[in-house]
A and B are shown apart, each in its own frame.
Chain A
Amino acid sequence: MLNRSAYKHYYLMLLPGLVWLFFFNLLPMYGILMAFKDFNPGLGIFKSEWIGFENFKYMFELDDSKQVFQNTVFIAVLKMIGNLIVPLVFALMLNEVKNRLFSRSVQTIVYLPHFLSWVIVAGIMLDILSYTGPVNQLLALFGSDPILFFANADMFPWIIVLSDIWKEFGFAAIIFFAALTSINPEMYEAAAIDGASQFKRLTSITLPSILPVAILLGTLSLGNILNAGFDQIFNLYNPSVYSTGDIIDTWVYRAGLIDMQYGLATAVGLLKSVVGLVLISISYTLAYRFANYRIF
């Protein structure tokens, strides 16, 4: 079809993107060497001394490393489950409503929180959950003493998970809305003629049709098991909740950019990236094998 002369145009079209990729995606990977060096900013990455896996060894000896890892996985797993189930249930609920205008308006409104940054959501949350804020005022009506929500380490992970679900459930439901509208309406009509109740139609037509999508999305999210949400936690945490709220990314930030332990922070970040890459590859392979899902 196409002759070779098209090739030079193709390369020309790829060029700007490849330049961008080189400077801002590939070049930073050179810095990974820092993980295996006793990095000295005065000498630079190349001239600093090799120390092999010392940084990694040190990482495992640290007291907080186990805690930080546990916090990360705990928060991430709860988010993965919540962000799958809540949007699914919400989409099913809205699907039962037959009024198009109502359901469209609801959809527009529930997409809203997705468009707010975590800076903004955190700013509002700190206000609403503050010592004199509306939530504590409400609790006072029931005779409860005010709670310092953001100083309570037991509550913190749950506040994080719930606020993340609040922010994303509507937007995450888009996929399910699409899957629901692609169900053949004749199936419902046939079931209605056979006398199936509304609830029966939900359990024997809607649910089975949408389950494969839910399983696929669940599989694809497996790669996020070490992503507990940096932007969110960074804006909401403080030292009194480090015991339950400090995650790998926030720890790396403090170790690397605040305490300037460059080698150590790079090592931890690298380990996280490698584990993440392996997990995503596994989940994509599973999705490809069992659902024929491909990204390209």
Chain B
Amino acid sequence: MIEERSLLSKVYNGINILLILLLTLLCILPVWYTLVVSISDRAAVAAGEVFLIPKGINFASYQTIINDGQFFRSFFISVQRVIYGAAITFFVVLLMAYPLSKSTKDFKSRNIFMWLLIFCMLFSGGMVPWFMTMKSLGLINSIWGLVLGGGLPVFNVILVMNFFRNLPKEMEESALIDGAGPWRILFGIFLPLSTPVLATILVFTIVGHWNEFFQALILMTKNENYPLQSYIRQVTANVDLTKLDAESVKRLTSLSNQTLNAAKIFISMLPLLVIYPFFQKYFVKGITLGSVKG
């Protein structure tokens, strides 16, 4: 290892670490602030007395949420959406990636499908035609509109396909000699070897479905069908500031229930914050594999 002992390098490294710590702190501060507000006294928050340390700790906001039927309904719609979405994406992407990982020698029409997928990934009809299609398919107010509406996740197909192509050829060849068909090769050989990339697309899908709010906002005509993020948006949405003077903004701020909103926000981000560190080693690998390849 390289050792540095000069004063200059000590100062250099010291400042460097200090800046890194500052940036790191900046990343968790908003989350911490939300937690602090959610467990603080409502009046203290409205008076602007709460920042880093909770004041008048209480869990009234969380008790209110427990009795809030709509919050739970939305929460479970989101859970349902994530489970359906992740399961469907997983199998569809896995199945598609295998034939597409073949060379044109082994699967002649491969490139036709490849270009079709790439085209659909890069080009879309836009928001209005999409909405019209969903309407004519009868997917307004349906969970399936949320699960399938985003279209085929082409990027994930490409990620898994590239991973398959980098697996050693010999294993597949020896399996072929033993008389294994495509299904057995995919599920018996490729699947068990592909944990990193499959975990990566699983994370992407879970995060995408959990955090998506806009499709639900326009597909759901009844608020009771909103998933969690759309519900949260409804309670925290920005007000039209043009019509308000400074005084009324102040009044409005103290009226809106900041502690309750903070508690809702905190609960809605908690699931992802708890799971992402466990997937970290996979998505780091998955991103590296999928992006910069010579």
A139 to B97, CA, bound (A): 54
Contact with B along A90-105 (1 / 0, CB 8 A): 1001101110001000
A69 within 8 A of B: no
A153 to B140, CA, bound (A): 36
Which residues of A have CB within 8 Å of B16? 93, 96-97
List B246-265 residues whose CB lies under 8 Å from chain A.
Answer: 246, 249-250, 253-254, 258, 261-262, 265
Q: Are B242 and A239 in contact (CB under 8 A)?
A: yes
Which residues of B have CB within 8 Å of A25? 120, 124, 151-152
Contact with A along B111-128 (1 / 0, CB 8 A): 001101110101111111
Please judge, given known A-B contacts A109-B28, A239-B242, whether A1 and B176 are in contact too, CB under 8 Å.
Answer: yes
Q: Are B128 and A266 in contact (CB under 8 A)?
A: yes
A68 within 8 A of B: no
A163 to B92, CA, bound (A): 35
Q: Are A127 and B28 in contact (CB under 8 A)?
A: no
Q: Are A34 and B128 in contact (CB under 8 A)?
A: yes
Interface SS of chain A: helix, strand, loop or mixed?
helix
Chain B residue total in the interface (Cβ 8 A): 111
Please judge, given known A-B contacts A126-B236, A296-B162, whether A269 and B182 are in contact too, CB under 8 Å.
Answer: no
B203 to chain A, nearest CB (A): 9
A50 within 8 A of B: no
Q: Are B30 and A150 in contact (CB under 8 A)?
A: no
B208 to chain A, nearest CB (A): 10
Q: Are A116 and B272 in contact (CB under 8 A)?
A: yes
B54 within 8 A of A: no
A266 to B128, CA, bound (A): 6
List B276-291 residues whose CB lies under 8 Å from chain A.
Answer: 276-277, 280, 284, 287-288, 291
A7 to B181, CA, bound (A): 11
Contact with B along A154-179 (1 / 0, CB 8 A): 00000000000010011000110111
Q: Are A34 and B181 in contact (CB under 8 A)?
A: no
Q: Are B181 and A120 in contact (CB under 8 A)?
A: no
Please judge, given known A-B contacts A132-B48, A132-B253, whether A123 and B242 are in contact too, CB under 8 Å.
Answer: no
Please judge, given known A-B contacts A17-B96, A21-B120, A128-B30, whether A110 and B24 are in contact too, CB under 8 Å.
Answer: yes
Q: Are A10 and B24 in contact (CB under 8 A)?
A: no
B97 to chain A, nearest CB (A): 9
A162 to chain B, nearest CB (A): 11
List B12-31 residues whose CB lies under 8 Å from chain A.
Answer: 12-13, 16-17, 19-20, 23-24, 26-28, 30-31
Please judge, given known A-B contacts A17-B96, A24-B149, A239-B240, whether A124 and B13 are in contact too, CB under 8 Å.
Answer: no
Q: Please, could you name 10 A-B residue pairs with CB atoms under 8 Å apart, sorted by A?
A: A25-B124, A97-B13, A111-B280, A132-B253, A151-B242, A166-B26, A169-B23, A174-B287, A197-B9, A295-B158
